[in-house]
Structure 1
Amino acid sequence: MVIAPRLRICAAVVASVLATGFAGAGTLSIDASAPTPAPLNAALRLGTATAPNGATLGANARYLTRNGAPWLPVMGEFHYSRTPASQWEAELRKMKAAGIDIVASYVMWNHHEEVEGKFDWSGNRDLHRFIELAGKAGLDVVVRVGPWAHAEVRFGGFPDWVVNAMPTRGNDPQYMRFVERLYGQIGQQLKGQLWKDGGHVIGIQLENEYNIDGPGKGAAHIAALKKLALKAGMDVPYYTVTGWDGTIYPTGEVTPVFGGYPDEPWGVSTKELPPKETYAFRFDTRVSGDLGAQTAAHAPGTAETDKEVTPFLGAEYGAGLPFMYRRRTVVSADDIASMLPVQLGSGVNLMGYYMFHGGRNPLSLGGTGMEESSLSGGYNDTTMISYDFQAPLGPDGQQRKVLEKLRPFHLFTRAFGSRLAPMTVRKPDVSPAKPDDLSTARFAVRSEGERGFLFVNNHVRQYDMAAQKTTQFSVKLPGQQITLPSKPVDIANGAYFIWPLNLDLDGTNLHYATAQPLTLLDQGKAGLVAVFGANAGVPVELSFDAGTRVTAAGGAQVAASAGHTLVTGVQPGAGAAVTVQRDGKRPLTIVVLTAEQSQQLSVVQLAGQQRLLLSADQAYVDGNALQLRSVGDSKFRFAIYPALVNAPKATTTGAAWNAKPAAKAAAAPSNAGAYAAVDAPTATVALRAAGNDGIFQAFEATLPAHEIKATVTQTRNAQEAAPVVIGGSAKAAIQPAPENFKAAGAWQINVPREQLKGLDDALLQIDFVGDIGRLYAGTRMLDDWYYSGYQWQFGLRQQAALLDQPLTVSVLPLRADAPIYLPKEARPDFGGAKQMATVRSVTVIPVYQLRINP
């Protein structure tokens, strides 16, 4: 990923004052009247781009194509070797349900060839099976083959024996012989699974964060890697490289991909950072600031000079952030989701996340860590095992709030991406000059001809944006001027959204809407349902062409206004807000969900057709069944449209918490997870019809509730922790040396596993205050955590056999004088004490799962 940076030194302190109060915005204008030029043919040498069934992939200088049509997919990173293989299928299906189209994954060399010549592609390292399961879940795959990955792993993924014996990241003959052998192994894993074979591998990323130049390096090295990849059989449509921090590559051979993060956990500051440019629309560059390459660039990279001939693609927009020892940044769901309108409004035509699914590092064959650390010369100190990343899907598959905030945008790109992709970016008449301008409105338009989308962001992490009072937008298109809304509105601090301009809804023109398009449900002759989401605090208006015959529900008013048919007073909800009568055409229904309902909406293929699903529970489809997963609540509720013809049946799917895999568990490396509980039972439960939620058919079910008791006993008092050392290549706080953990306090945790029978999982939640927490079974470390105020959870299902003996959590004291960054909300009150190490509580949260067979 991007998190292993060079040292950044601020030359000045940001002078701007936090925006409070409001800005009198008035009319915010943008000129989108210039003709949209036809996209240039990208000078990209793609691999074989036609599948056996005739399906094609392609690219021009503006966007990707699928079967000749514009294509704007969403890509999410998920590391197979950091997740138990037994979980892959369900987790990939969860990603698909969350709106992901492509799964990306690093191949970490040292996870596969820790000992020279002894490759391991089994168990949690079985790349071939991971790709098969991704295809089964309906996902395409981009394989990031390195050989240098970074990924916060030891030596960036290089095995120790490579680092010790030869120069790397250049065309050194010895190094390239080993790279060729690695690529040959990867090629065998991908055999039969490439796009040209009818498989799902559509892309290969070469190297990572590469801005090194010189003899045998730079463009020559990337070109040499591509030749080796082709020699190994990795013939795919797309070849990419990361495009930030002055990357260097051979033009035409690869396509740059970009990213941006809401903070810099790789930084050395112990304070809040100035506003990040990730929240500001980009009109002249694709690089969102310093993304933390480990090497320094000395000139603008190839990606900057190639921006007119390559599409704007993303790979590493942070769906969360990792915790570094010296900087433990916690991000909110809005910190992440507000980047979406900014990136899409800046022209991004592949929305790629790092990470979308968290994981845990395997330990080495010798039982030591394989994480990036200053002890092994790394720039950052990361946790030995945990790679949680605050990701939308946690290491144990738990759905975080950020996923709910992202999913409406994923629905939008899937339904409207083919329309958005050809559109060009239009800059406002007035826009912020710098990221620390917190008063000027942040917005952009992407348009083509008379149609377009308006993108607005009024959220900046850790800073208050000025509320844009009494605001209207004025967009000049080639043949008309659109002013919206009809009356000025206030855009609050923290608001962000996308509004349509002249949106074609099956032949009916929606002039504009002050609600975000979410999805379209095409029911054939039964009609089209267009679903929108309301924005909190902004009244919903729907403006149609004059003469459109509209029937509005719920007390909304329909009137002629400025040559259009205007619907005002729309009350968001699950009912039909508007129906449009169209002579000789199928019906058109518009539903405007509340902001909360928008976050609960999924589109699923169920009982032979596509349906809308509303549920606060985690939902995904497995075969022909709907799976609902609830953390901590045995009550389920879901609503579906169109209604199911046959009454569905519900069963619970729980793990059998038996001891059969215990011997295998004891022998397996830490967190390998290949010994999941077996013989999962199913038991029919009652599914109750719960009437209708608007147009949706609602159902409820209640499973037997589990109250799980964990006993906690302190077994060792903490001792005085050694002072935090300043050092490493970052010249900042470094993680304590192993021998310093003798100062840790210890608590024994007892969870009788009989209490867990019938559950899908159980999350051990450890609320502690200290520096570093570690969870053990005996002397074997299961997980670890840097204290930050972010909740530490650990799934027990994969470790069920270990619960016959107590677990232990150790807490290294946090010193009051530790020179690290903690969010102000998490900074403990030391009350004059020199240090703190305490376990405030340990709870076990049941995870229930309900299977619906329609």
Structure 2
Amino acid sequence: MVKKTLLLAVIFLVFGQSFGQSYSLDARVASLKVQSAHLEMEGENIQGETIGINNQYLTMDGEPTILITGEFHFSRYPNEHWKEAIQKMKAGGIDVIATYVFWNMHEEQEGVFSWEGDNNLRQFIQLCAANDMKVILRVGPFCHGEIRNGGLPDWLLGKMLTIRSNDPEYLKYVDRLYHQIGIQVKGLLFKDGGPIFAIQLENEYQHSASPWGLTYPAQPFDFTAAERDRQLTQEGVSISKEENPYAELGNQHMSVLKSLAQKNGLNAPIYTATGWGNAAVIKNETLPVQAAYPYPGWAPAEPSDFYLYKNLQKNPDYGPVRYNPEDYPYIAAEIGGGIEGTYTRRPVVPAKSLEALINRFLGSGANGIGYYMYHGGITPKGDEFYFNDEAYGYPKMEYDFQAPLSAYGKPRESFYRLKTLHYFIHSFGEMIAPMVLPIDPPSGNPYKPEKVRYSVRSNGDEAFLFLNNFQDHKQRKDLENLQFNIHLNDGRIQIPESGGISLNKDENAILPVNLQLGNVRLNYATAQLLTKGQNRDGEFYVFFAPEGVQPEFSIAASEEKIVKAPNCMIDKSSQRVLIKPDKLPAEISIQSKTETLHFLVIDKATALNCWKVKNAGDDFMIITDAMVLDKNGQFDLISKDKNNINIQEYPAKGELKASKGNLTRLSNPGDLLASYKLELKAIPIDFPVEYKGNKMSIDLSSGMPHGPDDIICRVHYTGDTGQGFLNGKLVIDDFYKGIPWEIGLRDYLNQPSPGKLVFYFRPMYKNASFLQDLDPAKIPEFDERGQFLKIGTPEFFPEYKVSLTF
């Protein structure tokens, strides 16, 4: 374990490329003092649990930690499904939920506050507490969040006051809002043993704003910012090089907001502030957090720097910033977990881009990971208007954001890819957080196909090597025969020992270097650590081979240890044991006098389907393409469409039981993995579909059929926009961007008289500006009028849910 009082610094020197594909890195360290006295942020709750912060990382009960935060807006999701949503986020490896309190959704009419139904903040926070989920509460008053006026109520525009300033009349209304929020979360703050450990004040203050919703067609935007700040107001997250002459007034306003929050009982160990692009920060009293949006709809579609390693603590993204970045840990709170399209711009975020982005953040010194959004939703309609920001041209209802969990809580490919990294952070974050990264990682140019991008974080004795071969808006090439020489305090380690490794285009990898795992010194592995576990058979570590990489393991030799590795090539010398699996999965067992360690080695496709669960204190890996919700001794499987589900278990106990269906064990005693096939009764789904001109209807009058947990409807069309009406009321809409439009039907089917879900589609136009964001293969041949519309046959997928026990 790394000593808490020691900050480790790496002096990173690139000696140069010696043999075309060979790279040498000096990862020896010099100690550097960890500083925390200057930061007025820490806390202890009634159970004696503590939260702290220094200039490098956060601590939980004194231990370094890397928290993983996912944005989820409770008011954009049906309250009857909040518990399930929280459990799904937890299954994906999320530790913390960040959520906005949108002022205009709670006080649409002046003086009339709504905290019921989908606005029930207290119920949501209580559910987070019940599911051991921490919370960052984003209290505004300005939020943005693609909400009308950025969350400010319309009636505020009709008041004689200056918004987002220290105008006493404006602060009177903010004070009233904070008072109401304080009532809702009373007893749920960290100090009381509750989940709210951090509170965000304002959002992008003196950086960006939203247009007021009360506007006229073609009228220039009138931004929700104080008049003094409007000249420098940005339309989205971006670089802001100009200094605001009213910066000090902005910092003072943030201090006033903090005082108002504390006055109204909103007390937390940590207060955060969005710090990018010269935004306002209270020095030493708010933790500035950062962002990264490689696929923004508000900027040109061009390669970004977000996939290049650098020292983020010295050179933050979206710099310059209004604070000394080396005074704070680097926390990335708004990594674009997807993006919301506007009518004129519709970027599509590839799943592999997110995986590579997190690799880059960890390999650039970040000690906090946060996604905006992680779970999508549907924005409700207000009494007088749609709450989604219509002035900016967002969908009226849909807020899917292409997030890892969709607007209906369905996992995307990005959910599975990010989960592999979240498991890694959970298992090794305490080790990584104090590790220091290179002074100057050789990152290169996003426009040029460099041979390799790499970085290292080290404590001098142990290290992780980061590799990335992905770039947004630019094709990369497969990389071959890469070799790295890592210089640590005890000498040099060459990876691999002979030959080289390959890294496919769009792939990334995090390789362990000289790690002490129990009594075993792992010199290196050309496989990535997924997680670790403990059970009555000992400790186990799970590794996976990145695509295109041949896994091999070099273990320091010892006469005391016995290495067993069936189906592996083993080469022993006086210095090391080199192990290369012939096929995957494989298990390497290292036995000493005091313990036995097991290394499970799998391919990446299998790693994406791995789920870590507990039973009677023991850790198990469940491998299945169904979603797994762990409930400690019981776990739920949620399977889209498949009623025959393949399941594997490691370690192979072979004792699973299902609450329904026919569960058959396929493996034999002694097999590495216990294998099962679960057969559930198939549920046929067939709703009558009609077409008329630009419209299509799905008859839901039969209601929700018995059996499925949900029914997913995939709507196929090629056009401009689609809108769905139930009983004449708009309930969902979509901007075509060449990816499937999937709708969860259960809430519509469970209504008293669902009737028909009627879709209205509009044709795509040849001169549409969003065509720049489409895959060229998805752009059709337009007719003589310059239009195109094709409506396909919808598909229906029943979602099966079953509980399993050990």
Give 1:514's match in structure 2, choosing from 489, 501, 526. Answer: 526
Closer/same/farther in 2, CA of residues 418 and 429 from structure 1, 3 Å limit: closer
Contact kept? 1:475, 1:482, Cα under 8 Å? yes
1:243-293 C-alpha deviation (Å, 9 max, x unpaired): 2111121211101111112211122x4xxx221111111225677655xxx
Closer/same/farther in 2, CA of residues 254 and 755 from structure 1, 3 Å limit: closer
1:626 corresponds to: 635
Contact kept? 1:131, 1:200, Cα under 8 Å? yes
1:144 is aligned to 2:176: no
Q: Secondary structure at the match of 1:222?
A: helix
Letter in 2 for 1:822: D
Counterparts of 1:163 and 1:541 in 2: how far apart (Å)?
64
Letter in 2 for 1:688: T
Contact kept? 2:748, 2:754, Cα under 8 Å? no
Give 1:796's match in structure 2, choosing from 745, 770, 776. Answer: 745
Q: Secondary structure at the match of 1:324?
A: coil
Give the TM-score of the pair, scaled to structure 1: 0.84
Residue 686 of structure 1: how far off its partner (Å): 2.5
Q: Secondary structure at the match of 1:540?
A: coil
Letter in 2 for 1:155: N
Q: Secondary structure at the match of 1:308?
A: helix
Counterparts of 1:28 and 1:216 in 2: how far apart (Å)?
47
1:509-544 C-alpha deviation (Å, 9 max, x unpaired): 1111111111111225x3110111111211111111
Counterparts of 1:263 and 1:62 in 2: how far apart (Å)?
29
Give 1:600's match in structure 2, choosing from 609, 616, 629. Answer: 609
Q: Where does 1:408-807 land on structure 2 (aligned, <5 Å)?
A: 408-427=420-439, 430-432=442-444, 434-486=445-497, 487-523=499-535, 526-547=537-558, 549-560=561-572, 563-573=575-585, 575-576=586-587, 578-583=588-593, 585-622=594-631, 624-643=633-652, 647-651=655-659, 684-691=660-667, 694-715=671-692, 717=693, 745-751=694-700, 753=702, 756-802=705-751, 804-807=754-757
1:556-588 C-alpha deviation (Å, 9 max, x unpaired): 222246932222245331x42x111212x1111
Counterparts of 2:547 and 2:756 in 1: how far apart (Å)?
48
Closer/same/farther in 2, CA of residues 220 and 150 from structure 1, 3 Å limit: same
Counterparts of 1:504 and 1:783 in 2: how far apart (Å)?
52
Residue 468 of structure 1: how far off its partner (Å): 2.8
Give 2:326's match in structure 1, choosing from 287, 293, 308. Answer: 308
Q: Secondary structure at the match of 1:425?
A: coil
Closer/same/farther in 2, CA of residues 371 and 559 from structure 1, 3 Å limit: same
Give 2:308's match in structure 1, choosing from 255, 280, 289. Answer: 280
Give unpaired runs (5+ residues) of structure 1.
1-22, 291-298, 375-379, 652-683, 718-744
Contact kept? 1:244, 1:258, Cα under 8 Å? yes
Counterparts of 1:634 and 1:527 in 2: how far apart (Å)?
35
1:223 corresponds to: 255
Give the TM-score of the pair, scaled to structure 2: 0.89
Letter in 2 for 1:424: V
1:822 is aligned to 2:750: no
1:476-516 C-alpha deviation (Å, 9 max, x unpaired): 22231111012212222222010111111112111111111
Closer/same/farther in 2, CA of residues 288 and 829 from structure 1, 3 Å limit: farther
1:9-62 C-alpha deviation (Å, 9 max, x unpaired): xxxxxxxxxxxxxx9851122221231423222522125x11212111111110
Closer/same/farther in 2, CA of residues 623 and 595 from structure 1, 3 Å limit: closer
1:394 is aligned to 2:411: no
Closer/same/farther in 2, CA of residues 59 and 769 from structure 1, 3 Å limit: same
Counterparts of 2:441 and 2:116 in 1: how far apart (Å)?
57
Counterparts of 1:621 and 1:32 in 2: how far apart (Å)?
39
Residue 205 of structure 1: how far off its partner (Å): 0.7
Closer/same/farther in 2, CA of residues 804 and 193 from structure 1, 3 Å limit: closer
Contact kept? 1:497, 1:535, Cα under 8 Å? yes
1:325 is aligned to 2:343: yes
Q: Secondary structure at the match of 1:37?
A: strand
Counterparts of 2:481 and 2:115 in 1: how far apart (Å)?
60
Closer/same/farther in 2, CA of residues 795 and 553 from structure 1, 3 Å limit: same
Contact kept? 2:247, 2:280, Cα under 8 Å? no
Give 1:244's match in structure 2, choosing from 266, 272, 276. Answer: 276
Letter in 2 for 1:811: F
Closer/same/farther in 2, CA of residues 768 and 343 from structure 1, 3 Å limit: same
Q: Where does 1:183-222 land on structure 2 (aligned, <5 Å)?
A: 183-211=178-206, 213=244, 214=246, 217-222=249-254
Contact kept? 1:244, 1:287, Cα under 8 Å? no
Contact kept? 1:501, 1:511, Cα under 8 Å? yes
Letter in 2 for 1:435: P
Q: Secondary structure at the match of 1:96?
A: helix
Counterparts of 1:650 and 1:413 in 2: how far apart (Å)?
31
Counterparts of 2:548 and 2:130 in 1: how far apart (Å)?
41
1:744-773 C-alpha deviation (Å, 9 max, x unpaired): x22222245357321100012111121110
Residue 555 of structure 1: how far off its partner (Å): 3.3
* Identity fraction in percent: 31
Closer/same/farther in 2, CA of residues 476 and 842 from structure 1, 3 Å limit: same
Give 1:60's match in structure 2, choosing from 41, 54, 57. Answer: 54
Closer/same/farther in 2, CA of residues 174 and 208 from structure 1, 3 Å limit: same
Closer/same/farther in 2, CA of residues 436 and 164 from structure 1, 3 Å limit: farther
Q: Secondary structure at the match of 2:608?
A: helix
1:125 is aligned to 2:119: yes
